[in-house]
Amino acid sequence: MRKVLIVDDHTMVCEGIKRVIEDIPGVLVWGSAHSGEEALKVLRQEHIDVVLMDVHMPGIGGLGATLEISRLHPNTKVIALSAIDDAPYPAKMMEAGACGYVAKGSDQSELVEALETVFQGKQYLSRVVAQKVALAKTTKNGADSPFGELSERELQVAQMIVDCVKTKDIADRLNVSDKTVSTFRKRIFTKLDIQSDVELARLAMRYNVLGLV
């Protein structure tokens, strides 16, 4: 029996996902967590085969949690779930160690297919995400999201900045110094050619990333 953990900060979403997958043969929905931090706590106590990970959540978020799961629990597979199906998140989540990426607007059957595919040791991108990733690879017209220039950690920090998380709190969540967070902020601003947190939020809204939709 393969154990699945659902991670989403909305209880109703967790319940909806549970109803979709709980009748899949050989699958046990172990439970749910409502943050990346809570998911990591569960994994320290219980072996989970697959984590269904919401990308945008408070705290370290789905990206940060996926990075930590890949580092600390390499035998646990992560499938990202997100309302954001545009760059840079699909690529960044896969680079962080996710084995699949499913757009929340996809048909329910795609989530079932994603689980079955990952159980077989393969990667899965929902159809709408795969189409956009393929288009991004062939498009060189300058319209691609500038957030694609950020590393996984920089994107994670950018998300917390947009969420108005204080520098000290970001440092605590990432187990780094305030100075390191400030260095990340400077790199982010330089790469995105911006000067302030407000500009970062506006840019995130413009390119439909970081959950600002």
Q: Which residues pair with 179 in a beta bridge?
A: none
Q: What is the pLDDT of residues 131-140, one digit of tens each?
A: 666 555 544 4
Lowest mean pLDDT among 103-107, 185-189, 199-203: 103-107
**Rounded CA separation 73/69 (Å):** 5
Architecture per CATH, domain 146-206, reads as: Orthogonal Bundle (1.10)
- Higher local confidence (pLDDT), 53 or 125: 53
Residue type, 191: K
Query: pLDDT tier at 196 (50, 70, 90 boundaries)?
Result: very high
State the pLDDT confidence band at 98, using cuts at 50, 70 and 90. Answer: very high
DSSP assignment of 20-41 equals: HHTTSTTEEEEEEESSHHHHHH
User: b/e per residue, 98-118, with b = 16+ CB within 10 A?
Assistant: bbbbbbbebeeebbebbbebb
Q: Cα separation of 84 and 162, whole Å?
A: 16
Q: What is the pLDDT of residue 139?
A: 47
Query: Start-end ranges of CATH 1.10.10.10 in the chain?
Result: 146-206
> 202 pLDDT band (50/70/90 cuts)?
confident
Tell me: pLDDT of 29 over 50: yes
Sheet holding 27-33, edge to edge: 27-33, 2-7, 50-54, 77-82, 100-103, 124-125
pTM of the model: 0.74
The fold for domain 2-137 equals Rossmann fold (3.40.50)
Answer for the pair 161, 174: CB distance below 8 angstroms, yes or no: no
Please list the residues that pair with 103 across neighbouring strands: 82
212 pLDDT more than 50: no
Question: Which residue has better confidence, 129 or 18?
Answer: 18
Instruction: Name the least confident of 81-85, 155-159, 165-169, 194-198.
Output: 81-85
3-state SS assignment for residue 36: helix
Alpha carbon 80 to chain centroid, angstroms: 6
Mean local confidence (pLDDT), 121-128: 87
Write out pLDDT tens, residues 164-175: 889 999 999 888
Confidence of residue 79 (pLDDT cuts 50, 70, 90): very high
What pLDDT sits at residue 189?
95
Q: What is the location of CATH 3.40.50.2300 in the chain?
A: 2-137
**What average pLDDT does the structure give for the chain?**
87
